[in-house]
Structure 1
Amino acid sequence: MAEAMGLRERKKIQTARRIYKEAVALFAERGFDAVSVQEIADAAEVSKMTVFNYFGSKEDLVFRPMEEHFSDAAQAVRERAPGESAVDAVRRQFLTMVEARDPSVGLNPEPFGRQVRRIVTETPVLMERAFLAAQKGTRALAALLAEETGDPMLATVVAATLSAARNALIEEHHARIEAGESPDTVAADAAERARRAFGLIENGLTGYATRA
């Protein structure tokens, strides 16, 4: 029975991956709005109902596999060790992702992640969902910090600043690769760039942009 259940679960994962990859390929080729769910189902050799069983909506076909990463910073703070600050936790997590070339921080050499990002940036409805998902992640981080510190205002400032730093670093990775740099070149100084960004936050912006 355990083996049968394991086989069923593996088949479900394989089916979901096949649907996802076929959807991304069609969206990249023709644009998100020009592709129907039925066409995705046909390409993946499943029924339209099966697509909706795995992905609740057409937008989920793009976002479901990546949406969990919008709350990465909150997870890092929630799971941090005693004596570790919020900045240290988010920085440590981000540096670990950089070292692993995690696709969510834009450093994976495979082009698939950049293809998905391009689909999102070229589709207004997906950009709106990305913005809302990012805001939800920031609010989750702010709520967690407010609960711990008892100061919702400062918690909101810190959460917004940490989220902005992560987003800026990720956007830089994507922009440099889109401009022609190799993922290896970008990854070579990504950790140092991250340390500088989070170091700026850690130091409270002291001396930043002081006019001569």
Structure 2
Amino acid sequence: MDVEPGLRERKKARTRQAISESAIALFLERGYDAVSVAQIAAAAEVSKRTLFAYFPSKDDLVLHRFADHEDEPARVVRERGAGEAPLDALHRHLRSRLDERDPITGLCDIPQVVAFYRLVIDTPALAGARVRYQSRGEDALTSALLETTAPAPDAELTSRLTAVQVLAVLRTLADRNQRRISAGSSADDLAPEAITAADHAFDLLRGGLPHHT
């Protein structure tokens, strides 16, 4: 009795992956705006109704790959070691992901990953939607930070502002890495610069932005 639900879940996962891969292939070939949902459904050999059951919007067909990571910063904060500050935990986690060349950091030169990032960055509709998608991650990280904050009238606002800045930094660093890779750098050659940029970004988050005159 325990095997059947697992089989169903695996089948659903395969269907979801097939739909997503068909969509990405068509978007890369023809451009995001030139491909219809009906064309994607036909390529994946599913009905439009089935497609929408897995991906409620056209944006979801691409951006779910970012959404799959939306709770990761919150999880890092909750699972950090005793006495470790949230920003230190997030910084440590980012550096470990950079060392692993994790695609979510942008420090990855696998051709399929580079093509995917170019699709997102170069398509205005997707770039804008990606920011909207980030709101769920902001909610999750805000909650995680709030759990570690002493009660205060401005605790929720402080946690929210911190979450917004952290996720904006992570997105900006990833996009910066991918732009350099698209310009011809390899992930290994870019790694020292990417790590220095990450360190600089988190130093700014810890100390506050400099005042310019």
For residue 118 of structure 1, give the secondary structure of its aligned residue in structure 2. Answer: helix
User: Alpha carbons of 1:210 and 1:19: their partners in 2 closer, same or farther (altered >3 Å)?
Assistant: closer
SS in 1 for 2:164: helix
Q: Is 1:160 paired with 2:164?
A: yes
Measured after TM superposition, the shift of residue 131 of structure 1 is 1.2
Partner of 1:38: 38
Q: Structure 1 stretch 112-121 or stretch 136-145: which is displaced more?
A: 136-145
User: Shift of residue 25 of structure 1?
Assistant: 0.9
Q: Alignment length, in residue pairs?
A: 209
What TM-score do the two structures reach when normalised by structure 1?
0.82
TM alignment of 1:119-130, pairs within 5 A: 119-130=119-130
TM-score (norm 2): 0.82
Query: What corresponds to 2:141 in structure 1?
Result: 141
Percent identical among aligned pairs is 39
Matches within 5 A, 1:1-212: 1-147=1-147, 148-149=149-150, 150=152, 151-202=155-206, 204-205=207-208, 208=210
Shift of 1:163: 2.7
Q: CA RMSD in A?
A: 2.6
Aligned CA distance change for structure 1 residues 172 and 132 (closer, same or farther; 3 Å):
same
Counterpart-to-counterpart distance in 2, 1:209 and 1:172: 23
How far apart, CA to CA, are the structure 1 residues paired with 2:145 and 2:6? Answer: 39
The alignment partner of 1:138 has SS state of helix
Unaligned residue ranges in structure 2 (runs of 5+)? none
Q: Residue 64 of structure 1: SS of its match in structure 2?
A: helix
Q: Distance in 1 between matches of 2:3 and 2:159?
A: 47
The 1-side partners of 2:120 and 2:163 are apart by 24
Letter in 2 for 1:67: A
Is the 2:109–2:181 Cα contact (8 Å) retained in structure 1?
no
Provide the C-alpha distance between the structure 2 equivalents of 1:12 and 1:195, rounded to a whole number of angstroms.
40
- Alignment partners' CA distance in 2, 1:144 and 1:10: 31
The alpha-carbon deviation at position 153 of structure 1 amounts to 4.0
CA contact (8 A) 2:70 2:134 kept: yes
C-alpha separation between the residues in 2 aligned to 1:155 and 1:3?
42
Q: How many Å apart are 1:143 and its aligned residue?
A: 4.3
* Alpha-carbon distance in structure 2 between the residues aligned to 1:49 and 1:157: 39
Q: Deviations over 1:136-181 (max 9, x none)?
A: 4234433443452333343344333323332332122112101110
Go from structure 1 to structure 2 and tell me whether the alpha carbon gap of 1:59 and 1:158 turns closer, same or farther (over 3 Å shift): closer
1:88-126: per-residue Cα shift (whole Å, max 9, x none)?
111122122112221111123322233232222333332
CA distance in 2, matches of 1:177, 1:27: 21
Q: CA contact under 8 A between 2:117 and 2:178: conserved in structure 1?
A: no
